[in-house]
Amino acid sequence: MDLFDILISASFWAAAIRIASPLIFATMGELVCERAGVLNLGIEGIMVAGAFAGWIAVWAGLPLWGGVAVAFAVGMALGGVHGILSVPFGLSQHVVGIGMTLLATSLTFYTYRVVLPEVSSPPKIEAFQAFEIPFLSKIPVLGPALFAQTPLTYAAFVLVIVTSLVLYRTPLGLAVRAAGENPSAVAAQGLSVTAIRIGAVMVGSGFMAVGGAFLTMSAFDSFFFDMVNGRGWICIALVVFGAWKPGKALLGAILFAAFDAFQIRLQQTPIGAVVPYQVFLMMPYLLSILALVVMSRRAEVPAALMVPFNKGER
Amino acid sequence: MRLEPIANPTLPRRTLPPALALIATFAVAALLVMIAGGNPADVFGLIFKGAFGSKFALLETLNRATPLIFTGLAIAVAFRAKLWNIGAEAQLYAGAVVTVVLGTGALPLPAPILLPLIAVAAMAAGALVLFIPALMKTRFGVDEVVTTLLFNFIFLLFVSYLLEGPLKDPMGMGWPKSARLVPEARLPRIIEGLRLHWGFGLALISAAVIWVIDAKTTLGFEMRAVGQNAEAARFAGIPVTKVILKTAVLSGGLAALAGFSEVAGLKGSLTLDLSPGYGYTGIVVAMLALLHPAGVVVAALFVAAIFVGADSMSRAAGVPSYIADIMLATALLLMVLAILLTKFRVRRD
């Protein structure tokens, strides 16, 4: 297949949107946390926990959307722990985040082994199926890519719009952004910086968990130990790449996913026969690092990101 | 709520929170063991027996502690200077790769010359792997947490490529595995007949050296100053960028020694599962040690004991060995909280 043929094929763009979906959820989650001033490095572990929680809930008999709700709730609970440790106690967000990732991952693996002892391969569930939107899905290339996806993918796009509206058009969004830019001003308004930040971390962590659940409930139909595989860390890079803005972050996630889909197809071409497959697999991580280096100079970091707020200190 | 610094913490104030954190960790683990249908007292007993119960168990614990001392030191050195090195895993593998490249017969040298040479080369490779993210931090302001994390994935893929390509053992029956080291490149055992190699000795020596650097040298002082307040350090005339880069070299080199010691001391060849996450566990070790080099040795022994003990407990009691990872993550989070509470009082508004 010619390289250009790949780029104009509908299946390529459909794959790109599918790959982007979990990243969109988790990137929005991280973005909400960071806009409120908290770097959430628990993201990788929270995605693992969400992937497991949603899947096991459906396996136990809940409907698919019930599974999504369970994943969201598990994410919120883990976010709550992160929030309490990092906000009122002001502990190092790096250490708390890494600790949360270790805790969430090991709790997930432990629960898996307790619930499913002695299974050689994990059971499958009836995952979300593609839902073709009438008329729109018939548009050439764009139709199959955007309008013949699973409901969870549509939800990811809705989430970007909602996040953007709430952040920029509501008093709540203003309070969240102010907590990340100028917490003293928030406190002067009589609002609780602590409550706003913990709330943002909980909701954001919920989104991350749903991003993980996308993997087990929409992209695949089962749970594997290494399935998140660094996606959380990539989402942190995507937030920087998107300059902490939902729209730009969405664009970054799609670009990134398109590149990922492209490298998978490149492996099938004559180039793939010469270049070791590991080089292709490295690409997403290298691209993330490159994005960080290019964007770091220009990025508008929330002024109070990683700065604990202790009332009465200033 | 509000945090209020305590001017002169009393003895109970300084010791009670960490003790409670440890007790709470075991309480959480006990609860999870009960959920899994186990008896906590039996399980903890089996973990203790599995880690210390026999000569074999004890040596296994010391062997397992060895790479953790190296990675724990690497993290402690870096975190002291607020260089967030989460990439010890990649640096470990860098050291292991160099050990295999130089140790499989490329250099026909006697052991007393070959071993130090390989160790230094391994350290240089690990240093380089951390130097790149450190340079990105000082040059472009790129957060090193994310870059060092991403490097772990990149480097592991690189090792996978090496083991299926240039470094693949032609006698390895198709397994992605390197050739075995020549005898001159193997770290000897400390006592003949006991399964404990000189990597453990080197780890203790490294801890002592870091202690001296911390306490007695200008570099040690500068690293701490940069970690406490980079702006103030710069104002005081400390070359902050240089200190961060030096820290990176030291930290990366230490993590690489873990790879050197595992290959030259324990395994004798390189496979993709050389490290079950020693680079990440090093973070827990360093934090439990309060970033102190002597503490790292104690914490590494504690962490290794839990891992080795949990492995053997899991076989006997049927409780998943992931209980060890949960205990360590819980201990990490509760311990940083406890340390805070030794210095601050929580006040209601």
- Residue to substitute from B33, B34, B154, interface A, most A β-carbons within 10 A: B154
- The distance from CA A199 to its chain's CA centroid, rounded to whole angstroms, is 17
Specify whether the CB–CB gap between B189 and B195 falls below 8 A. Answer: yes
Q: Is residue B193 part of a domain?
A: yes
Whether A76 shows a pLDDT value over 60: the answer reads yes
Residues A110, B326: C-beta atoms closer than 8 Å: yes
Of A90, A99, A296, the CB nearest to B333: A99
ipTM of predicted assembly, 2 dp: 0.92
Q: What is the DSSP letter of B271?
A: B
Residues B2, A312: C-beta atoms closer than 8 Å: yes
Whether A6 shows a pLDDT value over 80: the answer reads no
* Helix, coil or strand: residue B168: strand
Q: B3-8: which pairs have CB atoms within 8 A and are 24 or more residues apart?
A: B3/A89, B3/A90, B3/A310, B3/B340, B3/B344, B3/B345, B3/B346, B3/B347, B4/B344, B4/B345, B4/B346, B4/B347, B5/B343, B5/B344, B5/B345, B6/B343, B6/B344, B6/B345
Torsion angles phi and psi, residue A131, rounded to 5: -120, 110
Residues B150, A105: C-beta atoms closer than 8 Å: no
Of B141, B164, B320, the CB nearest to A113: B320
What's the average model confidence in pLDDT over A55-83?
97
Q: Is residue B44 part of a domain?
A: no
Residues B140, A297: C-beta atoms closer than 8 Å: yes
Q: Is residue B115 part of a domain?
A: yes
Residues A106, B326: C-beta atoms closer than 8 Å: yes
Whether A239 shows a pLDDT value over 60: the answer reads yes
Specify whether the CB–CB gap between B296 and B289 falls below 8 A. Answer: yes
Categorize the per-residue pLDDT at A118 as very low, low, confident or very high, splitting at 50, 70 and 90. confident
What's the average model confidence in pLDDT over A217-242?
93
Region of poorest pLDDT, from A22-26, A137-141, A155-159, A253-257: A137-141
Chain A residues in contact with B142 (beta carbon < 8 A): 289, 292-293, 296
Residues B326, A107: C-beta atoms closer than 8 Å: yes
Q: Which two tokens stand for residue A144?
A: 């199959």
Q: Which residue of A has its CA nearest to B28?
A: A107
Q: Which residue of B has its CA nearest to A285?
A: B150
Give me the amino acid identity at B259.
G
- CA–CA distance, A31 with A23 (Å, rounded to integer): 12
Choose among B325, B169, B216, B160: nearest CA to A278. Answer: B160
Q: Hunting for tokens 């490295």 — which residue is that?
A: A282
Chain B residues in contact with A98 (beta carbon < 8 A): 86, 280, 283
**Which residue segment(s) compose the domain that B128 sits in?**
69-290
How many domains does chain B contain in total?
1
The CA-based angle A79-A84-A87, given to 5 degrees, is: 105
Of B154, B329, B332, the CB nearest to A286: B154
B183-192: pLDDT as tens digits? 999 999 988 8
Give me the amino acid identity at A27.
T
pLDDT (0 to 100) of residue A314:
42
How many domains does chain A contain in total?
1
Q: Which residues of chain B have pLDDT under 70?
A: 349
Q: What percent of chain B has pLDDT over 90?
A: 83
Categorize the per-residue pLDDT at A8 as very low, low, confident or very high, splitting at 50, 70 and 90. confident
Q: What percent of chain A has pLDDT over 90?
A: 68
Q: Which residue of B has its CA nearest to A292?
A: B142
- Residue to substitute from A93, A95, A107, interface B, most B β-carbons within 10 A: A95
Q: Is residue A70 part of a domain?
A: yes
SS (H, E, C) B292-348: CHHHHHHHHHHHHHHHHHHHHHHHHHCCCCCHHHHHHHHHHHHHHHHHHHHHEEEEC
Of A114, A278, A292, the CB nearest to B157: A278
Q: Hunting for tokens 């340390």 — which residue is that?
A: B339
Of B32, B146, B149, the CB nearest to A110: B32
Q: Is residue A239 part of a domain?
A: yes
Q: What is the DSSP letter of A216?
A: I
Chain B residues in contact with A292 (beta carbon < 8 A): 136, 142-143, 146-147
Q: Is residue A153 part of a domain?
A: yes
**Which residue segment(s) compose the domain that A172 sits in?**
3-115+149-296
Q: Chain-wide mean pLDDT for chain A?
A: 92
DSSP for B113-131? HHHHHHHHHHHHHHHHHHH
CATH number, residue A49: 1.10.3470
Choose among A176, A201, A198, A243: nearest CA to A35. Answer: A176
Q: Which residue of B has its CA nearest to A100?
A: B329
Whether A312 shows a pLDDT value over 70: the answer reads no
pLDDT (0 to 100) of residue A311:
63
